[in-house]
Amino acid sequence: MIKGAWWKLTSAVLVLYGLIAGFSFDVPRLPILNESIRNLYFHVGMWFAMMALFLGSSIYSIRYLRQGKVQDDQKASGAASVGMLFGSLGLLTGMLWAKFTWGAFWVNDPKLNGTAISLLIYLAYFVLRQSMEDHTKRARISAVYNLFAFAIMITFIQVLPRLTDSLHPGNGGNPAFSNYDLDSTMRLVFYPIIIGWIGLGYWVLDLRQRWKEINTKLNDNE
Amino acid sequence: MNRIPKILLTALAFFLSQPIWAQMPVEMADTMRADGKIRVVIGVVAIIFIGIVVYLIRLEMRMKRIEKRIQE
């Protein structure tokens, strides 16, 4: 049996179900969006996975600051790095989608610009980590910076686009998932695949962390 | 005198045209899903994803073996 088999296989099954149902179930017939509305299952899933990983990353950072375990620092940076992977995929898929619905790869939308800034702030987290030799100092300072980055990310992606007008549904004063935005058939696919994507992200993080720990042990033995 | 009905008719036509415009069919891939073999695409996507997951599981097995060896 593989480690954590139940949640890893559950997320794989959820994503597989989402892929199949996402292409075959009926979707609302909306102008401009047409069939591309199905991107919601895949493009938005990337952002949910990113947010969940960044949230996990800041929780590991808090744990590191309280208990000082090396593993928590490794997990914090690992979750941030897997989160960046999903964020980049979300950005790329969003650009493709925007080209065919909004007319350009990049439009001057608060959500897009906020996301770009947030990803750059997280990029700076890795630059900061690599700039310090001393392990304890690096872990401490980057843990504090990580909490700051998470707060900024939430502000830029979830708060500011709601205060101004955004092309994204659910922004400009509305909650993200009102009754009008998502119909009931889409929810049947959307919620399961979101959980699946998040689980898949944590699966990658788990593999990365175990590889890190083996690496640390081997280095200690030398 | 003769002009007023014309304007009215134009206005009537304009307002009548609104619901017709709203009912314009939205272009969806209906025929593609009916006989355009979209199910083949779904099958291909599913096979690719299953393949990746199977590979991940094999990676997990190997990881477990190496973790055991390092514990000893």
pLDDT tens, position by position, A123-168:
999 999 999 999 999 999 999 999 999 999 999 998 888 887 777 8
CA distance A24 to A27: 9
Average pLDDT over residues A43-65: 96
Q: Hey, what amino acid is at A100?
A: F
**Does residue A219 sit at the B interface (CB-CB below 8 Å)?**
no
B44 in reach of chain A (CB within 8 A):
no
Total beta-carbon pairs less than 8 A apart between chain A and chain B: 56
Interface test with A, best of B42, B52, B71 (most A CBs within 10 A): B42
Instruction: Please tell me the distance from the alpha carbon of residue A84 to that of residue A122, in angstroms, as a whole number.
Output: 8
In this structure, how many other beta carbons lie within 10 angstroms of the beta carbon of residue B64? 14
**The pLDDT of residue B35 is above 50:** yes
pLDDT(B8) > 80: no
Res B19 pLDDT > 70: no
Contact of A80 with A57, CB cutoff 8 Å: yes
Rounded to whole angstroms, the Cα distance separating A194 from A192 reads 5
Which positions in chain B touch A203 (Cβ < 8 Å)? 56
The band of A4, judged by pLDDT with boundaries at 50, 70 and 90, is confident
Residues 6+ apart with CB under 8 A from A53: A79, A80, A82, A83, A86, A198, A201, A202, A205
Average pLDDT score, chain A = 90
ipTM above 0.95, yes or no: no
Q: Sort out which chain B residues have CB atoms less than 8 A from A12's CB and list them.
A: 49, 53, 56
Task: Give the model's confidence band at B53: pLDDT under 50 very low, under 70 low, under 90 confident, else very high.
Answer: very high
Could you tell me if B70 lies within 8 Å of chain A, comparing CB atoms? Answer: yes
Judged by CB atoms closer than 8 Å, whether chains meet at A2 and B57 is answered as: yes
A169: confidence class by pLDDT, cuts 50, 70, 90? confident
Q: Which domain holds residue B49?
A: 3-71
Instruction: Give the amino acid at B11.
Output: A
Q: Does B28 contact A at CB distance below 8 Å?
A: yes
Range picked from A23-37, B25-39, B45-59 for highest mean pLDDT: B45-59
Partner B contacted by A202 (CB < 8 A):
no
- Please check whether residue A199 is in contact with residue A8, taking contact to mean a CB–CB distance below 8 angstroms: yes
B60 touches chain A (CB under 8 A): yes
Contact B59 A16 (CB under 8 A): no
Q: How many domains does chain B have?
A: 1
Q: How far is A211 from chain B (nearest CA, A)?
A: 8
| Type of residue at B50 | I
For the stretch A14-42, pLDDT in tens is: 999 999 999 988 888 887 888 888 999 99
Q: Is B68 at the interface with chain A, CB within 8 A?
A: no
Higher model confidence: residue A117 or residue B29? A117
Rounded-to-integer distance, Cα A34 and Cα A17, Å:
22
Q: Is the pLDDT of residue B15 over 70?
A: no
Secondary structure tally for chain A: helices H, strands E: 8, 0
Cβ-nearest to A30 among B26, B53, B59: B26
A21 touches chain B (CB under 8 A): no
